[in-house]
Amino acid sequence: MPEDPNASAPQPDSDERQEPEPQPGPGPVQSWAPLRDRTHWATLVVLPLLGAISFWAVQGLWGWIWGEISGPPGLTAYTAGPTPCTPATLPLVLQAKTDEAIVVTGIRVNVLSAEALPKGGEQPPPPKNCAVTAHEPMFDVNLTQTPISVVPTTRRAEPDRTDFPFTVSADHPKQLTLRINPGRRDVRFSLKVEWVADGEYGSAILDNGSDRDPRKGPGYRVTG
């Protein structure tokens, strides 16, 4: 028989019907408080702390190594001896031996011998122009006093006035001048420059020991 065109198409069996694919639903709600997570705490707190400790340790180790290489702190003091001025002057140059700054606390003067000038004997040298620069500190040394004082020549307050204590380093030495008053005598003396650095005390002795003529005696000689 001819097929009826109006006949409905066969319906698929109910067991063969395709179920709609499940749509992905919203996942679990994620926490947006990373600071509560231990991993984030380790990242934000522990790691920077370990980095800081390592940095301090490296700095301390480097400081120890550099200290061993550069040696202990010390002061180098140099002078060419008294100048032929009236009154006599003695220039000094002070410089630290290492990069560590040195605090110069004072200068002590020790009279080794003192004799009165013989009448009609040796006379003081004629006056010479011994002016120093405005920024070069000058200290007065009176060899007739006990104890002998070393005080700035300029006593009034000035911005560039230098007095003890002051600091010197390897890159910034200090040049100063001592103006000596022997008190109409023939005097020999030595100097002791005292300093302190990092709690360590020390001194540098200037007694003309390496340059003096043994026949002329120890120390620096001034007359006047």
**Max CA distance (Å), the chain:** 171
Per-residue pLDDT of the chain (224 residues; tens, 9 = 90+): 455 555 555 555 555 555 555 555 555 555 545 555 566 655 666 667 777 777 666 666 555 554 555 567 899 999 999 998 888 999 999 999 988 899 999 999 999 999 998 776 555 555 566 666 556 789 999 999 989 999 998 765 555 567 899 999 999 999 999 999 999 999 999 999 999 998 889 999 999 885 555 556 789 999 98
Q: Is the peptide bond before 147 cis (omega within 30 degrees of 0)?
A: yes
Residues in CB range of 25: below 8 A, 6 or more apart: none
Contact 181, 143 (CB under 8 A): yes
Residues in CB range of 70: below 8 A, 6 or more apart: 98, 99, 100
Structure tokens at 59: 């700095």
Structure tokens at 135: 């920024």
Alpha carbon distance 116, 143 (integer Å):
13
Contact 172, 87 (CB under 8 A): no
Class assignment of domain 75-223? mainly beta
Alpha carbon distance 35, 33 (integer Å):
6
